[in-house]
Amino acid sequence: MYDFKSIKLDKNQSQHLYIQLYKKIKELILQGHLMEEERLLPVRKMAKTLEVNNVTVVKAYEILEKEGLVYKRIGSGTYIAKELPQELNNEDDISKHQASVKNQLMEQGHVKVEKNMINFASATPSAELFPVEDFKRVLNEVLDRDKGHAFDYQEGKGYYPLRSVLNKYIKHYGIEADTESIQIISGAQQGIDIISKALINYGDYVVIESPSYTGAMAAFHSRGAKIIDIPLQKDGLDLETLEKKIKIYKPRFIYVMPNFQNPTGISYSISKKKEILNICKRHNIYIVEDDYLSDLDFNSNDSTTLKKLDNHEIVIYVKSFSKIFMPGLRLGFLVIPSKLHHNLLMAKHTTDISTSGLLQRAFELYLNKGIWQKHLAYMEEQYKERFLLMEESINQYFPKYVDCQLPLGGVNFWLKLPKGFSSNKLYERAVKENVIFAPGNLFFMGNQDEGYFRLSIASVNPSEIKYGIKLLGNLIGEYIDNKEELRKDITIKPIL
Amino acid sequence: MYDFKSIKLDKNQSQHLYIQLYKKIKELILQGHLMEEERLLPVRKMAKTLEVNNVTVVKAYEILEKEGLVYKRIGSGTYIAKELPQELNNEDDISKHQASVKNQLMEQGHVKVEKNMINFASATPSAELFPVEDFKRVLNEVLDRDKGHAFDYQEGKGYYPLRSVLNKYIKHYGIEADTESIQIISGAQQGIDIISKALINYGDYVVIESPSYTGAMAAFHSRGAKIIDIPLQKDGLDLETLEKKIKIYKPRFIYVMPNFQNPTGISYSISKKKEILNICKRHNIYIVEDDYLSDLDFNSNDSTTLKKLDNHEIVIYVKSFSKIFMPGLRLGFLVIPSKLHHNLLMAKHTTDISTSGLLQRAFELYLNKGIWQKHLAYMEEQYKERFLLMEESINQYFPKYVDCQLPLGGVNFWLKLPKGFSSNKLYERAVKENVIFAPGNLFFMGNQDEGYFRLSIASVNPSEIKYGIKLLGNLIGEYIDNKEELRKDITIKPIL
């Protein structure tokens, strides 16, 4: 039962107490802290607990009832509604989705990205880095070899030779699996979608990192999941909170990016990686590991995946190639615990039957001929140059009161303005100067603007980085210098 | 409140009455006729209504309670459980999914289809019909023209020039839309999946034809929809039942295939098409029209789509190219009422962000250069030859007690064995002789085997048709002649 004592009302605030109480309870319901069919305290008891008038409680309960959030059972009390009213759900859906799309559009560089813009917003490589000629060659080779069969339905799990070569490929990363454990997907977003279909029933709980990838939140939300977000620390999730929440909510799974997390760029310590596996094993909970970037390890030398450490088949591994290859191919793969093979295959079928056979066949050839390894080395080199330049430029041009825990690899840098300053406002200024980035609110469940922002090196070439960061540094200075009253509160504190 | 009088128990059956009653109520719950939190009749009243002993009812309620399907409130009665027990749901999921996958696998010719088999099961064209060389040419043209951009993320709605040429294309079919109403999808199954995401909330009702496409049922089911299936008549859905069910259940939409329906091959009469639009308009309900084949109109000259007749923006039109082009491309499109643009785009994003840009660009060129029209004419010719040969062969070789309403177009023929005979048993015999088809139970919600089966001409070449149908005709004869006791009941009656 929820401890209503923790509701704090403020008698000094101008807002009526019953409105404050109504809002607090509504929030608790929408966030899933108060569950369907849970009984609210009886009026007198609630009034006593919160040290308010009975009338305050009656009025608050009345509004909640009108909105369909609670209902009364005669002679028994007031209960949380079984189903939240349609309108509320929808509103919520739409704002979530809007955030998600905004983010995705930005990631894809479709929104407001003009040709001459410096784009720190997109986390996907720019088109000039794509190995077009090499891929064209394997495409044609496949067409000449397989003819019509290249356009036939592919096996739901994926083209067998591709799964087989991927299985060999992940052994280099220490992941031992069999070919049947590999499920081809049309990009990581689809992977997350079919995992959600296979595992989440309406009303189930899911744990995510805060902040996290918006596309994942949208997919979980779309399945009717209740999302518990747990703040990230410098070396990964706060494990005490994690275990506490797992005990309370029994989530279906936790969704994490343990290497160069998106958006923060942080990497979990090896001890946290191991301990998360222990906790989830103890409580019998799956881990969805989204590995979008562990290949780009510039400084850590420890981008071990959870899947590599997984001795109990509890990790579902999601691998995207969008960040180091070509996002428009829409290809990726999952490594799945054997218990889940069947369910995930079913979910894939319901989703789109199978992934394009032509593209799978071409990619298989690409991997098998070793062109992939060549390309990966090339991308590492390209990205490393940008990465070092970025570190250097941030150190040189950003005011010291901008917090940044420099990442050990990957493509994302996560920064924070001093308290009281908005990254959305900074964004508005920057757009006018033809520089864009991803405001931090996009990555939080509550969409809150706490001054965080993400800079990515994927879509900017080296010549733009120094210029762009210098410009952005100046804009931050101007923005903050204009607010003398806030400047005096600025303290330099760690970002996470 | 459910009218329990309609429960019929059979005192002459060997099964105990309380088991019969338990099974009937369980069925009513699983089919959604008894809703969560609905109260069952009190024991004595139920016993009186059904003219059985009190003990019979008590025992039945006890089993239901043990299985978690109902629960007791002290002093108040027995109620349907709020959530069905996990295991039941799962079982149900799995059997649905299994049926779905079985079907899909068969459609794709992956299951038990050996090289030398005559495949009446698959409804997708065989690889030798694919325009590989033409498509290879446009692929290379796109790569030379667009270079890396061909592999970039595509706009979520789809590549604009492709949407634009599709908009022109559908005008030939009398569909007036604007380019913004067109949403590119990775195949029809994905279209159905994202429509489900955008429209179905957990527990919503959806109306389908019975029989129908299993992949659609699986997608609706996966969203937690309650599915109402309405039997097809010779000229389309039974409209009286449709309106009655709409009034009772207020479904989110009805899902129909008004031309050459899958699996039955029937086409709706023009008057039924119009009346369905009127009914749905009257009750403010969307229609999802799955147009997988209206292009292949051999005899009807009236394969008007509902979308063409839709003056009130209530039809969501789903167009697949898998049946007349190349299933492995995974391309199709939706035409969407303007009110739903936003929601469907969001759902597409959550599903896979965007469809492969390379394939969209190549297909755009293919359409724009008029190669598509050439290919369509070629496919019509190929299919028409098979279609006529199929009609002739069925008339010549099938025993007269096999019912068949010959279709007016499309690729599917729907047949029925005499009462008491199983199409699954026929399938087992046919497989041994290297002939396969789709048993009818795959297309029914309840998976019931009532002797229906589907023969498709998509994957058989003309030389196989006559031989295959003759063989199948003989097998049917043998199967049925062996069961003298059932043969005497055989009457020839219309299939629908």
Same domain, yes or no: B159 and B192:
yes
The sign of the dihedral angle between the CA atoms of B180, B186, B191, B193 is negative
Write the pLDDT tens digit of every residue in A357-374: 999 999 999 999 999 999
Residue B413: its H or E element: strand B412-416
Contact residues for B311 (Cβ-Cβ < 8 A; gap 6+)? B277
Same domain, yes or no: A74 and A98:
no
Minimal Cβ distance to A151: which of B101, B328, B352: B328
Give the three-state DSSP class for A453.
strand
The C-alpha atoms of residue B174 and residue A5 are separated, in whole angstroms, by 65
A154, closest residue in chain B (CA to CA): B328
Write the pLDDT tens digit of every residue in B466-487: 999 999 999 999 998 866 555 5
Contact residues for B284 (Cβ-Cβ < 8 A; gap 6+)? none
Same domain, yes or no: B102 and B48:
no
Same domain, yes or no: B161 and B274:
yes
Q: How many residues would you count in chain B?
A: 496
pLDDT at position B107: 44
Chain B CB contacts of A89 under 8 Å are 201
Per the CB < 8 Å rule, is A327 touching B222? no
Mutation for A interface: B136, B146, B199, B350, most A CBs within 10 A: B350
Alpha-carbon distances, residue A251 vs A236, A317, B369 (angstroms): 19, 18, 53
Per the CB < 8 Å rule, is A124 touching B351? no
Res. B95: pLDDT tops 80: no
The C-alpha atoms of residue A312 and residue A14 are separated, in whole angstroms, by 55
Same domain, yes or no: A386 and A354:
no
Residue A254 in domain = yes
List, in sequence order, the alpha helices (H) in B67-211: 86-107, 132-146, 160-171, 188-199
- Please compute the mean of the pLDDT values over residues A4-15 and round it to a whole number: 80
Per the CB < 8 Å rule, is A330 touching B100? no
Write the pLDDT tens digit of every residue in B105-161: 444 443 445 667 899 999 888 888 899 999 999 999 999 999 999 998 889 999 999
Per the CB < 8 Å rule, is A127 touching B149? yes
Per the CB < 8 Å rule, is B201 touching A86? yes
Residue B192 in domain = yes
Per the CB < 8 Å rule, is B143 touching A136? yes
Same domain, yes or no: B67 and B99:
no
Res. B75: pLDDT tops 90: no
Chain B CB contacts of A187 under 8 Å are 352-353
Chain B CB contacts of A82 under 8 Å are 36-37, 82
The C-alpha atoms of residue A347 and residue A193 are separated, in whole angstroms, by 9
pLDDT at position B39: 87
pLDDT at position A296: 85
pLDDT tier at B88, thresholds 50, 70, 90 = very low
pLDDT at position B23: 85
A131, closest residue in chain B (CA to CA): B148
The C-alpha atoms of residue A221 and residue B187 are separated, in whole angstroms, by 24
Count of CB pairs separated by less than 8 Å, A with B:
224
Share of chain A above pLDDT 90, in %: 63
Share of chain A above pLDDT 70, in %: 90
A145, closest residue in chain B (CA to CA): B132
Res. A66: pLDDT tops 50: yes
pLDDT tier at B73, thresholds 50, 70, 90 = confident
pLDDT at position A447: 85
pLDDT tier at A126, thresholds 50, 70, 90 = confident
List, in sequence order, the alpha helices (H) in B223-326: 239-249, 270-283, 306-309
B130, closest residue in chain A (CA to CA): A148
Res. A154: pLDDT tops 70: yes
pLDDT tier at B263, thresholds 50, 70, 90 = very high
Strand runs (DSSP E) across A246-324, as ranges? 253-256, 286-291, 315-320
Report the domain count for chain A: 3
Residue A112 in domain = yes
Average pLDDT over chain A, rounded to an integer: 87
Alpha-carbon distances, residue A361 vs A158, A356, B83, B155, B460 (angstroms): 10, 9, 44, 25, 26
Chain A CB contacts of B136 under 8 Å are 140, 143
A135, closest residue in chain B (CA to CA): B143
Same domain, yes or no: B255 and B228:
yes
Indicate the residue among B301, B335, B369 that finishes a domain: B369
Res. A77: pLDDT tops 90: no
Write the pLDDT tens digit of every residue in B412-424: 999 999 998 999 9
Res. B103: pLDDT tops 60: no
pLDDT at position A115: 66
- Poorest-pLDDT segment among B2-16, B55-69, B139-153, B178-192: B2-16
Contact residues for B171 (Cβ-Cβ < 8 A; gap 6+)? none
Write the pLDDT tens digit of every residue in A384-406: 999 999 999 999 999 999 999 88
The C-alpha atoms of residue B418 and residue B398 are separated, in whole angstroms, by 12
Mutation for B interface: A124, A151, A154, A250, most B CBs within 10 A: A151
Res. B28: pLDDT tops 70: yes
Listed residue (B180, B189, B136, B135) closest to B158, CA to CA: B180
- Please compute the mean of the pLDDT values over residues A454-459 and round it to a whole number: 95
Same domain, yes or no: A294 and A224:
yes
Res. B495: pLDDT tops 50: no
pLDDT at position B486: 54
pLDDT at position A495: 44
Residue A318 in domain = yes
Same domain, yes or no: B230 and B194:
yes
- Please compute the mean of the pLDDT values over residues A53-67 and round it to a whole number: 85
Domain of A437: which CATH number? 3.90.1150.10
A62 to chain B, minimum CA–CA distance in Å? Answer: 24
Minimal Cβ distance to A139: which of B105, B139, B186: B139
Domain of A283: which CATH number? 3.40.640.10
pLDDT at position A493: 44
Res. A496: pLDDT tops 60: no
Residue B466 in domain = yes
Same domain, yes or no: B160 and B251:
yes
Res. B396: pLDDT tops 70: yes
The C-alpha atoms of residue A155 and residue A355 are separated, in whole angstroms, by 9
Minimal Cβ distance to A186: which of B107, B186, B197: B186
pLDDT at position A175: 95
Per the CB < 8 Å rule, is B82 touching A86? no
Q: Please list the residues that pair with B205 across neighbouring strands.
A: B226
Write the pLDDT tens digit of every residue in A287-309: 999 998 888 888 877 889 999 99
pLDDT at position A89: 39
pLDDT at position B84: 66
Alpha-carbon distances, residue A26 vs A20, A71, A365, B61, B269 (angstroms): 10, 13, 55, 37, 51
Per the CB < 8 Å rule, is B140 touching A140? yes
pLDDT tier at B337, thresholds 50, 70, 90 = very high
B155 to chain A, minimum CA–CA distance in Å? Answer: 7
pLDDT tier at B488, thresholds 50, 70, 90 = low
Per the CB < 8 Å rule, is A154 touching B355? no
pLDDT at position B115: 66
Indicate the residue among B369, B392, B408 that finishes a domain: B369
Per the CB < 8 Å rule, is A222 touching B350? yes
Decide: B200 and B346 in contact? Cβ < 8 Å.
no
Q: Please list the residues that pair with B368 across neighbouring strands.
A: none
Chain A CB contacts of B330 under 8 Å are 186, 352-356
Per the CB < 8 Å rule, is A359 touching B354? no
- Please compute the mean of the pLDDT values over residues A188-209 and round it to a whole number: 96
Write the pLDDT tens digit of every residue in B192-251: 999 999 999 999 999 999 999 999 999 999 999 999 999 999 999 999 999 999 999 999
Looking at this protein, which amino acid is placed at residue A291? D
Per the CB < 8 Å rule, is B132 touching A153? no
Residue B38 in domain = yes
Chain B CB contacts of A99 under 8 Å are none
Indicate the residue among B52, B84, B116 that finishes a domain: B84
Domain of A31: which CATH number? 1.10.10.10
pLDDT tier at A182, thresholds 50, 70, 90 = very high
Residue B493 in domain = no
pLDDT at position A6: 83
Per the CB < 8 Å rule, is B202 touching A202? yes
pLDDT at position B484: 54
Chain A CB contacts of B89 under 8 Å are 201
Same domain, yes or no: A352 and A218:
yes
Residue B494 in domain = no
Same domain, yes or no: B282 and B396:
no
Chain B CB contacts of A148 under 8 Å are 126-130, 132, 326
Residue-number span of the structural domain to which B37 is assigned: 4-84
